[in-house]
Every structure is written in structure tokens, then in C-alpha cells.
Structure 1
Amino acid sequence: MDSLRAEADALEAEIKALRRACVELPAPGEDTSPVRQSFQDIYQSDSEGWESLKDLRSHLGHVESELQFLSSLTGISIRNYSKKMEDLTSTEMTEKNIKKVLQRHRLSGSCHMITFQLEFQILEIQNKENLSSVITDLSIIMEPTEYSELSEFVSRTEERRDLFMFFRSLHFFVEWCEYRKRTFKHFKEKYPETVHLAKGASSSYMGIRSHSRPEFELVIVWRIQIDEEGKVLPRLDLLTKAPLSALELDKNRVIETAPLSFRTLLGVLGIEATLESLIKSLCTEEQVPTQ
């Protein structure tokens, strides 16, 4: 009798277990294997990682295209860059929830034909309310050094620690240098016997000399200046070279007042038209310009 009771209890327990199993059965198509479920979790996690990597690559591609656009627009290209950070937060600052970090930056690049190296430090101080940053040191090395106008500009920029002024002024300075070079080259090709460039198209001055009157010469000195605020402006001056006999015969002081008249003409005609008129007035009767 007891054995029958024990067997009945065992069967009843098995029935209850089967009922619980039926109630807890997974939905159709759901995997009941813990190992397989873990594999699916890992696969899903990896898939999310792959999607993030694709997004990262897409973002990097977008940033690179923007950098290429800015480089073509400004002419400034950054080749190497490094950054180091130093935590200067003291114990007392930490207690006051103040964080102090010194960033050291180094970069090198170029703007058309001019290369530069920059080293600068940025001090960041952050508290509960705001974040402040200031450039505490700036050092600039530029090549080539043949542009004397850049020497004073670099010294002022280092003194002011103004990175924005440096890149902005450098861009416009190079643009004016390229324009001067193209202009001198144009007139040399158009009037090869009359226009003289002692240092080639990259020269800062251009000589205009008549073949029939070599003792008389006009010299255009074209400087590119950067003022105290970093504004880039061209400055053109006219120098005259004439024999003493010609000066004595110049009763109307045309040669003496030529530099002032040249400046007035620049304001009316502009640079290229003024240079063209000077060349033609001096020697068009003896030379037909090259087409």
C-alpha cells in the first residue's frame, strides 16, 4: 500500500512538472538553448559594433572631405600634429571642484610656398560654472625667410599669441604674393625686351627700361605689408632713374612728381592698368607687345 502511495506521489509530481514546462514553453521560433542564446547576444553585439564602425568611417570621410575643401579654399595644409596634456590640478583645487589642464600642441604645415612650424600651449581652467582657456605660449618658425615682411609679423603674432590672426594674415599674404608673381610674369611675357625682373617673377620689384634710352628707367617696388592688426595690404612705389641732363631739362618737374602721380593713377586705374600705361608710355613706339 505504501509503495503504491509513493508511486502515485511520484507520478503526480511528474505531471506537475510537465504542466509547468507546458506553461513556460517559449514562443514558436524562439531558441531555448542557453548556449545558442548567448551566441545570438554576442552576434547582435558585434553587429552593433560593425554599424558603429561604419558610422565612424563615414564621419571620418566627411571630415576629410571638409579638410580638403578648406585646404583648397585657404591654401593652408596641416601635415603633422601632436598633442600632450598635463593635469595641473592641485589638492586644494580638487576640493573646490576646479580642474586645471595644460595642453601642449605641435603642428607643421604649409600655405602654398611657405612652410611653418607651430608650438603653443593652452591653459584650461574648469569649474562648476564655466570653462576658460587661454594661449600661454606661442612659437613660430617659417621658411623661406626671404619674405622680410613676415619677420615682423611673426614677432607680433608670438607676442600677442594670436593663432587666428596668424592663419588669416598668412593666407592673404600668400594670395597677394601669388598675384604679384602672376602680374610680373604677365608683363614680362608681353614686353620681354622692356620689362626686367632681376630675381624672376618672384621678385618684389620690376624694372621698365627703354631699349633706345637705357639710361632712363622706371622701377616698380611692390611690397606686401601686414599692419598691427594683421591686415594685409599691397604697397606699390615708383622709383625713377634718369641722367642729370634729363633732370635739368625737365622744367615741369615731371620726373620729380612721377611717384606721386603714380600713386594717384593706382587709385583710379588699379594695379594692372597702371603698370600697362607706364610701359606703353615709355616704349610702345619701339616695341610691339607679344601676343
Structure 2
Amino acid sequence: MILPVVLRPPREEDVSAMIELMNAASRAAFGTADTTEAELRRWLTSPDVEPERDIRLAEQDGRIVGYADVDPTGTEPVRNWCDICVHPSVEVETVAAVLVGWAEERSREGFLRVWAPSVAADLKRSYERLGFDLVRHSYRMQIDLGAEPDAPAWPEGIEVRTFSEGDERAVYEAHQETFEDSWEHVREPYEEWAHWLIERDDFDPTLWFLAHGGNDLAGILLSVPMESEPDAGYVQILGVRRGWRRRGLGVALLQQAFRAFHRRGFARVTLGVDATSLTGANRLYESAGMRVVRQFDFYEKAL
């Protein structure tokens, strides 16, 4: 017998159960626990998130077995990004259908966009049966740090330093500008940007690298130790302004980060990238020695 699925907003006392749910799903897909309490709380306290409005937990017989959130973009038509997670021990399609139904009601208009690990066959099948179309893929890429990585070869005229207090707005503007060429880029409010990248306990300004060409901030690489994998570094943002592209600056910034993490004893560095990046970012990462270790599939449905 399939138990009824009951939806409700999250409460403070649900945090541990939510982490257990998300990590059960990531263990089933990848064999790793990918969600930390810090990461979850950062999402729950994001400036544009109201948990009562934007998040639902799915319960069966009093047990939390599913999660969904909706994050609409400021575009026309609106694209409602929806993260859905279902515990692998339950009937995935049943729970996913209820969560998608709520997400459609919450979104109301535009498009509903969901995603799943490429290996999550049950969840992907659920989306397809609910009328979603596969529209795109993304990769998680990684480099293993064995011997000391190559020293960066900086383009002529470039000087590099780490982040200092007072650089916040310049780095923010460089990030927003350098990502204008990415898929469906939406300018992020400064408050939200700072919440995710600076106002966090593990923020380390010595892992933010700023490349200047004269008075211009030509490129940035922002990185952090990976919360869920203590021996891994994570590149949050790599951006090069248009006038400085195709000169080797992106690879040099990556090499700078690789060497910084290697010297601190990290075993590898990872990042996420659009599989069909409009700027060819995935090819740049491959040229720096990174390889694909995970794939995620994105689905979309018109409302």
C-alpha cells in the first residue's frame, strides 16, 4: 500500500531530517553525503527565500521523505527553478508527482524547471511522465592534485593579488559582467551575492584571486574549501572580462587556485559548469586538466 503524501512548510526542528533526506539521495546517486547544515541554513536564510512560501516537505506516516523549493527568476517569461529531492527508500514517482503539483501551483506562470543527477533514473522518469522536456545538462568537473600544479603563465600586463576589504563591489560587478554571456544570466542583487559568497563562516579572502590589467579588474577566481568534502577545494566563480579573453588568463587563474589548494594539502579541486557553455568554459577547464565526474540533467515544462 502506498501511504498518502502530506505537504507542509519546513520548521526549525526539521533541519536534521532535511539533511538526512538530501544526503540519502546524494548517497544513492554518487555515494557521498553532499549537504551540510551550514549549506542548508545558508539557503533557508537567503534574502530572496521565504520558507513558508517557497519550500515544502513531503511526509508519509510522519516521516519526511521529500523536499521541493521554487526560486523564480526575474525574467520574462519567468523561469521557476525547482529543486526536488525524494528519499530513495520510497516510491519516487508518487512523491515527486505531489511535489511537482505544489511547485506548479506556487509558480503559476512561465516555465517550471527541475533537475536531477543523470544517474537518478526514477526521478528523471517521473519528470518525463509529468510532461517535462529535457533541455540541458551541466557537469561537475574535477582535477586531482598529485604533484605540485604548473605555475600560472600570466598574460603580459597582468598583476594578481588576493581579495582585500573594500574590493566587494568591484568583484561583484566583475562577476555580473563576466557572466552576461552565460545561459540565461540574470543579474543577482548585491545582498544575495554577498550572502552566498562573503557572509559565510568559511569565507577565505586568500582564496579569492583578482587579476588586474592596469587599472582594470580583468578577471576573478573565487574559491573556498568544499564544505561536504574536507579534502577538496571548490571554485565558486571564474570570470574573465571580454577584452581579456583568449589570452590564457582563465587557465592561469585556475592554476593559481590549484597551487593554493595543493599547498594547503587538499587532494582535489572541483567546480560546476554548463555542459554547452556559450563561452566554452568546459573546454577551458579540460585544457587545465579537469575532467567530468558528474552530470546533471535539466528539464522544463511550460505552465
Per the TM superposition, whether the score is higher than 0.5 is: no
Q: Which has the higher contact order (CA 8 A, sep 6+)?
A: 2
Q: TM-score, normalised by structure 1?
A: 0.22
